[in-house]
Amino acid sequence: MKILSYRTATGHDSVGALVSDDTLVDLSSLIPAPASGVSPIRLLLQATEGRLQFQDTELAGRERIALDTVTVAPLVADPTKIIAAPVNYRDHQAEMMEDYHIDALGVFLKAPSSVIGHGETIRLPYTDRRFDQEGELALVIGRTTENVSIDNALAAVAGYTCLLDITMRGGEDRSTRKSFDTFTPVGPYLVTPDEVGPLASLQLRTHVNGTLRQDADIADLIWGVPELVSYASSVMTLHPGDIITTGTPAGIGQIHDGDTVSVEIDRIGALTVTVSAAGAVACPTKGAVRGPKPPAEITPVRSRVSPES
Ligand code: MN
């Protein structure tokens, strides 16, 4: 099942299930009491304890809405936190010439206020710094979870989605470099685990202006989803709607004003956003000369699918 956060033409925020390519079933009637300041999808996750695999009988009789009459909203506009994996693919570790990967680094946090949705615009804040795209598989937590074992960790996951971990390169803390407003595009929708199937069979592709930059097997994650969720829950209590992003494979590269960036994962969807440098100013911090050195040139990636096929 695919779950979409959306805004109606009259400006009402809601959450629904995609029952076909062009039709939504509104799920707001499943939310017991509207709470101001909490997004509909978080209230739905709380009400269902993260089980979003609705039966046809549960959807029957609810309001049906044509998809083209609504605007896609950020999947979770207000997560209590965004937990991110640093250096969780060996080919990305190699391209960054990093000495360490996740098993020495743990996880880091991105500001919840950095979230945007499918179709929105990344705003580059500075004229004199390098900004890169990082295409990633992300998951949304379904229920309050603390200290879960690796074996039981997937029970905490409501579903999967696409995420772009937009990054300023340099020596400032990760929490600064990756937390600018608009630096966490996520969506377009959540796909429940039953529909995603085995994670190890998924491939991720990131395109910038139609050129393939990242083409990776999710099976190559150093810490897979169960290990990452278990570890994160040993550090901090996970709440419904929290987002955990699994890290980026090789193929990161610079993004510029006017670019279109898209990350696509098998059976999970394709998230597309644009880039603007309007209003950018000189950077007030001096980290540009520090930090891991990203590749200077973008290495073209050969797609697995030959152009002839
Ligand atoms: Mn990342």
- Say if residues 85 and 165 touch (Cβ distance below 8 Å): no
- Segment 30-84, tens digit of pLDDT: 987 766 789 999 999 999 999 999 998 999 989 999 999 999 999 999 999 999 9
Q: Class of 82-276 per CATH?
A: alpha beta
C-alpha span between 80 and 229 (Å, rounded): 15
Quote the ligand 1 centre to 11 CA distance (angstroms): 32
Which pLDDT belongs to residue 302? Answer: 55
Give residue 86 CA to ligand 1 midpoint distance, Å.
Answer: 6
Ligand 1 centroid, distance to 231 Cα (angstroms):
17
- Model pTM? 0.95
Cβ–Cβ < 8 Å for 212, 303: yes
Distance 65 CA to ligand 1 centre (A): 35
If you measure from the C-alpha of residue 246 to the centroid of ligand 1, how many angstroms do you get, rounded to a whole number?
Answer: 7
- pLDDT number for residue 117: 98
Q: Domain limits of the chain? A: 2-72, 82-276
Rounded to the nearest angstrom, the distance between the alpha carbon of 233 and the centre of ligand 1 is: 19
Among residues 167, 165, 248, which one has the least CA distance to residue 204?
Answer: 248
CA of 167 to the centre of ligand 1 (A): 8
* Among 19, 15, 67, CA closest to 42: 15
Distance 303 CA to ligand 1 centre (A): 22
Confidence of residue 308 (pLDDT cuts 50, 70, 90): very low
**Gap from CA of 252 to ligand 1 centroid (Å):** 9
- For residue 148, report the distance from its CA to the centre of ligand 1, in Å: 23
- pLDDT one-digit tens code per residue, 80-128: 999 999 999 998 888 888 888 899 999 999 999 999 999 999 999 999 9
CA of 249 to the centre of ligand 1 (A): 9
Q: What percent of the chain has pLDDT over 70?
A: 95
Mean pLDDT of the chain: 94
94 alpha carbon – ligand 1 mean position (Å): 14
The rounded Å distance from CA 135 to ligand 1 centre is 7
DSSP helix, strand, coil percent of the chain (3-state; round to 5):
20, 30, 50
Q: How far is CA 162 from CA 165, 177, 194, 227, in A?
A: 10, 20, 17, 19
